[in-house]
Chains A and B, each alone.
Chain A
Amino acid sequence: MKGTNLGEFEELVLLVTVARPEEAYSVGIAKVLEEVAGRKVVHSVVHASLNRLVKKGFLTSEMKPGSQKRGGRRKRVFEITSAGMKALEKVKDQRDNLWAMIHST
Chain B
Amino acid sequence: MDKKQKFQPPRWADKFLEWYCAPHQLEDVQGALYEFFHERIEKGNTRQAKWYFILDVITHFRPHIIKRESSHFTSNHFGMFKNYLKISVRNIKKNRLTSFLNILGLTISITSFLLILIWIQQEKNFDAFHENAENIYRIPNTFTSESESFSQAVSGPALGAQLDELFPQIVNACRFGQTTAIIKYEDQTYFENGIRVVDPNFFEMFTWEALEGYQNEFFKELNSIVLTESLAKKYFGNKAAVGEMLTVDNERTVEVTGVVTDPPANSQLQFEAIISTDLGKIRWENPNMDNQWGGGSFYTYLQLKPNTDKEVLMEEVNKLITSKLSFFTERNMSYHYFLQPLTDIHLNSKLRYDFSSNGSARNVSIFTVIGLIILLLACINYINLSTATAIKRAKEVGIKKIIGAFRKDLIKQFLVESVLLCFVATLIALTLVYFLLPGFENFVGYKITPNLGAQFILWLLLGILALGLIAGFFPAFFISTFRPLTVIKGQLKSGKKGSFVRKSLVVLQFTATCALIIAIITVNGQLRFIQNQDLGMQTDEVINIYFRGIQSVNDSREVLKNELLKDSKFKSISFYRNSYPVGGLSNSTIQVETENGKKVSSSLYNILVDEFYAETYDIELASGRFFSEAFPADSTESVLVNEAAVKSFGWGNPELALGKKMGTEPNERKVIGVVKDFNFEGLQKEVEPLRIVPIRNRNSFTEIAIKADLSNPFETIAFLENTWKRINPEVPLDYTLMNDDLQDQYQGELRFRSIFFLFSILSLVIASLGLFGLATASTNQRIKEIGIRKVLGASIFNLVGLIGREFLLLVLLSLLLAIPLAWYGMEQWLSGFAYRIEMNGLFFLLAGFIAIGISLITISYQTLKAAFRNPVSSLRSE
Contact surface of A with B, Cβ cutoff 8 Å: 25-27, 42-44, 47-48, 51-52, 63, 66-67, 69-71, 73-76
Residue of A nearest to B27 (CB): A73
Number of B interface residues in the complex (CB < 8 A) = 18
Known: A27-B36, A69-B39. A44 touches B31 (CB 8 A): no
Residues of chain B lying within 8 A (CB to CB) of residue A47:
29, 32, 60, 64-65
**B35: chain A residues within 8 A (beta carbon):** 27, 66-67, 69-70
Instruction: Mark each residue of chain B from 29 to 64: 1 if its CB lies under 8 Å from any CB of chain A, else 0.
Output: 111111110110000000000000000100110101
The reply to whether the CB of B186 lies closer than 8 angstroms to some CB of chain A is no
Minimum C-beta distance from A69 to chain B (A): 4
Known: A43-B36, A43-B56. A70 touches B62 (CB 8 A): no
CB of B28 within 8 Å of the partner chain: yes
Q: Is the CB of A69 within 8 A of B27?
A: no
Asked whether, in the complex, the Cβ of B34 is within 8 Å of the Cβ of A71, the reply is: yes
Complex Cα–Cα for A71 and B33 (A): 10
A–B Cβ pairs within 8 angstroms, 22 of them? A25-B28, A25-B32, A26-B28, A27-B32, A43-B33, A43-B36, A43-B56, A44-B59, A44-B60, A47-B32, A47-B64, A47-B65, A48-B65, A63-B27, A66-B35, A70-B35, A71-B30, A73-B27, A73-B31, A73-B34, A74-B28, A76-B28
Residues of B with C-beta under 8 A to A71: 30-31, 34
Would you call B31 and A66 a contact (CB within 8 A)? Answer: yes
Cβ-closest chain A residue relative to B60: A44
- B60 pairs with A43, CB closer than 8 A: yes
Name the residue of chain A whose CB is nearest to the CB of B61: A44
- Please name the residue on chain B nearest to A77 by beta carbon: B28
- Minimum Cβ distance to chain A for residue B66 (Å): 11
B60 partner residues in chain A, CB cutoff 8 A: 43-44, 47
User: How far, in whole Å, are A43 and B32 apart by their CA atoms in the complex?
Assistant: 8
Roughly how many angstroms separate A63 CA and B38 CA in the complex, as a whole number? 21
Residues of A within 8 A of B65 (CB): 44, 47-48
Among B38, B56, B64, max chain A CB count under 10 A is at B64
When chains A and B are docked, how far (Å) is the Cα of A76 from the Cα of B27?
Answer: 9
Question: Could you tell me the distance between the alpha carbons of A52 and B65 in the complex, rounded to whole angstroms?
Answer: 12
Closest to B67 in A: A51
A residues near B56, Cβ cutoff 8 Å: 43-44
Shortest Cβ distance from residue A87 to the other chain B in the assembled complex, whole angstroms? 21
A49 nearest CB neighbor, chain B only: B64
Q: What are the residues of chain B within 8 A of A43 when measuring CB–CB?
A: 32-33, 36, 56, 59-60
The 9 tightest CB contacts between A and B, nearest first, are: A73-B31, A70-B31, A69-B38, A76-B28, A44-B60, A27-B32, A48-B64, A69-B35, A71-B34
Q: A69-B38, A74-B31, A75-B31 are in contact. List 14 more A-B contacts (CB 8 A).
A: A27-B32, A43-B33, A43-B59, A43-B60, A44-B65, A47-B32, A48-B62, A69-B35, A70-B32, A70-B34, A71-B34, A74-B27, A75-B28, A76-B28
Q: How far apart are A43's CB and chain B's nearest CB, in angstroms? A: 6
CB distance from B656 to the nearest CB of A (A): 89
Closest to B63 in A: A48
| Complexed CA–CA distance, A45 and B27 (Å) | 17
- Contact, CB under 8 Å: B34 / A69: yes
A29 smallest CB distance to B (angstroms) = 10
A51 partner residues in chain B, CB cutoff 8 A: 64
List, in ascending order, chain A residues with CB within 8 A of B33's CB.
Answer: 43
CA distance A11 to B29 in the complex (A): 22
A47 to B36, CA, bound (A): 14
Complex CA gap A73/B33 in Å reads 11
Tell me, rounded to whole Å, the shortest Cβ–Cβ distance linking A71 to chain B. Answer: 5
Q: How far is the CB of B130 from chain A (nearest CB, A)?
A: 48
Question: Closest CB of chain A to B822's CB: distance in Å?
Answer: 61
Nearest chain B residue, comparing its CB with the CB of A52: B64
**Within the complex, what minimum Cβ distance (angstroms) separates A83 from chain B?**
21
Chain A residues with CB under 8 Å of B32's CB are 25-27, 43, 47, 70, 75
Complex CA–CA separation, A27 to B60 (angstroms):
13
Contacts of B31 in A (CB 8 A): 66, 70-71, 73-75
The smallest C-beta distance from B720 to any residue of chain A, in angstroms, reads 89
- Tell me how far the C-beta of A62 lies from the nearest C-beta in chain B, rounded to whole angstroms: 11
Q: Could you say which residues of chain A place their CB within 8 Å of the CB of B30?
A: 71, 73
**B34 — which chain A residues lie within 8 A by C-beta?**
69-71, 73
Closest Cβ neighbor of B62 among chain A residues: A44
B5 CB → nearest A CB, Å: 12
Complexed CA–CA distance, A25 and B31 (Å): 11
Task: Please encode chain B, from 57 to 85, with 1 for each CB lying within 8 Å of some chain A CB and 0 for all others.
Answer: 00110101100000000000000000000
Shortest CB-to-CB span from A10 to chain B, Å, is: 14
| Alpha-carbon distance A51/B32, docked complex (angstroms) | 15
| Residues of chain A within 8 A of B62, CB atoms compared | 44, 48
| CB-defined contacts of A44 to chain B, threshold 8 Å | 56, 59-60, 62, 65
Which residue of chain B has its CB nearest to the CB of A43?
A: B32
Chain A contacts for B39, CB-based, 8 A: 69
Residues of B contacting A73 with CB < 8 Å?
A: 27-28, 30-31, 34
Q: Quote the shortest CB–CB distance from B491 to chain A (angstroms).
A: 55
Chain A proximity of B25: nearest CB distance (Å): 8
Q: State A57–B136 Cα separation when bound (angstroms).
A: 61
A52 to B67, CA, bound (A): 13
- Please name all residues of chain A whose beta carbon is closer than 8 Å to the beta carbon of B64 when the two chains form the complex: 47-48, 51-52
Task: Give every chain B residue within 8 A of A25 (Cβ-Cβ).
Answer: 28, 32
Tell me the complex Cα distance, A42–B58, Å. 12
Are the CB atoms of B27 and A42 closer together than 8 Å?
no
CB distance from A24 to the nearest CB of B (A): 13
In the complex, what distance in Å separates the CA atom of A42 from the CA atom of B65? 14
Nearest CB on B from A60, distance (A): 14
Which residue in chain A gives the minimum CB-CB distance to B32? A27
Tell me the complex Cα distance, A105–B19, Å. Answer: 59
Complex Cα–Cα for A43 and B60 (A): 8
One digit per residue, 1 when the CB lies within 8 angstroms of any chain A CB and 0 when it does not, for chain B 772-805 equals 0000000000000000000000000000000000
Residues of B contacting A70 with CB < 8 Å? 31-32, 34-35
- In the complex, A81→B428 CA distance in Å? 63
Q: Mark B578-614, 1 if CB is under 8 A from A, else 0.
A: 0000000000000000000000000000000000000
Smallest beta-carbon distance A76→chain B, Å: 4
Name the residue among B31, B34, B62 with the largest chain A CB count within 10 angstroms.
B31
In the complex, what residue of chain A is closest to B42 when comparing beta carbons?
Answer: A69
Q: How far, in Å, is B479 (CB) from chain A's closest CB?
A: 47
* Complex Cα–Cα for A67 and B35 (A): 8
Look across to chain B and name the residue whose beta carbon is closest to the beta carbon of A48: B64
Q: Which of A47, A52, A63 is the most central at the interface, judged by chain B CB atoms within 10 Å of its CB?
A: A47
Q: B36 contacts which chain A residues (CB < 8 A)? A: 27, 43
> When chains A and B are docked, how far (Å) is the Cα of A44 from the Cα of B29?
9
| Complex CA distance for A92 and B458, rounded to whole angstroms | 53
The chain B residue with its CB closest to the CB of A70 is B31
**Measured between C-beta atoms, what is the minimum distance from B550 to chain A in Å?**
84
A48 to B29, CA, bound (A): 11
CB distance from B345 to the nearest CB of A (A): 52
State in angstroms the CA–CA spacing of A67 and B33 once bound together.
13
Bound Cα distance A89, B28 (Å): 29
In the bound complex, CA of A47 to CA of B31 (Å): 12
| Beta-carbon nearest neighbor of A55 in chain B | B64
A95, B864: Cα distance in complex, Å? 97
Nearest opposing residue in chain A for B41, CB measure: A69
B residues near A76, Cβ cutoff 8 Å: 27-28
**Those of B141-166 within 8 Å (CB) of chain A:** none
Complex: chain A residue closest to B30, CB-CB: A73
B8-33 at interface with A (beta carbon < 8 Å) = 27-33
> How far in angstroms is the closest Cβ of chain A from B362?
54
Q: Please, how many angstroms separate the alpha-carbon atoms of A66 and B38 in the complex?
A: 13
B808-850 contacts to A, CB under 8 A, are none
Shortest distance from the beta carbon of B26 to any chain A beta carbon, whole Å: 9
The smallest C-beta distance from A33 to any residue of chain B, in angstroms, reads: 14
Q: In the complex, what's the smallest C-beta–C-beta distance from B150 to chain A, in angstroms?
A: 65
Minimum CB–CB distance from A56 to chain B (whole Å) comes to 14
Q: Closest residue of chain A to B29, judged by CB?
A: A47
The CA-CA distance from A71 to B64 in the complex, in Å, is 24
Complex Cα–Cα for A66 and B30 (A): 12
